[in-house]
Amino acid sequence: MRGVSFDKKIKNPSLYSLIMRTANPTLSEKVFTGFARVHGHEAMSIDGTVNKTAILLFLVILPAFWVFTLPLEYAGLFSIGGAIGGLVFALITIFKKEWAMYTAPAYAVLEGLFMGGISAYFESMYPGIVWQAVLITFGILAGLLLVYKSGWIPVTENFRLGVFAATAGIALIYLASFILSFFGIAIPMIHEGGLVGILFSVFVIIVASLNLVLDFDFIEKGAEHGAPKFMEWYAAFGLLITLVWLYVEVLRLLSKMRSSK
């Protein structure tokens, strides 16, 4: 009963992260055109962005672990509050990039509350699923970083447009599913544990993973363009959004696979 109650509160836990992914302008190099080129310690660097990303991940993990240990009904409330607060701070960060050093950490903490609740829900239904999802998510991150650095995936304009179109299409499907759920209508099969649902989740994970490649490219281009130092926080924020989406989609895939057995 506790799991059912939580499920009613969050119809589609991946919808929030996916909407933020498609709305996030870090997918475009045009972000840099409004900034004068800077040099030295005042410029964005790859190492600096990696450090900022590590800080944001730490700020996600701490509250996520705390919420994960709470009774499920409380975890659900924190998750909903974190999702709403995270959306607010994400929008502020997108439109006020120079505030990212303050808003991105706040977003990370709120996202930790969101993820902790979502993880608690899935863990209550399928014990052990959370640690599997964590390992797979970071495994994909490490693997794609290696592939990107090796130059096996050229990030061309067509590649960017293709990933953006696929991401936007998935967002529309999830948004339509969310709206239709209020009228008791469900898009058949894609959210179920059958073959179609599993294949759909695999496709979504592939698209989410390719978004990581775009994030890597954005970070590299930012350093090349001599973007201001605060863009390290902004780039780390964009990468975090993708990681959250990927993690939730991995959870969904694993849950579908378990439910189909």
pLDDT at 12: 61
Note whether 154 and 220 are within 8 A (CB).
no
Which residues of the chain fall below pLDDT 70?
1-40, 261
pLDDT at 8: 44
pLDDT at 22: 55
pLDDT at 223: 87
Note whether 73 and 2 are within 8 A (CB).
yes
pLDDT at 261: 65
Q: How far apart are the first and last CA of the chain?
A: 22
pLDDT at 1: 35
CA atoms of 82 and 87, how far apart (whole Å): 8
Please enumerate in sequence order all residues whose Cβ is within 8 A of that of 161, keeping only pairs 6 or more positions apart, or say none.
Answer: none
Q: What's the gap between Cα 12 and its chain centre? A: 14
What angle, 0 to 180 degrees and rounded to 10, lies between the N-to-C axes of helices 100-125 and 129-150? 130
pLDDT at 222: 87
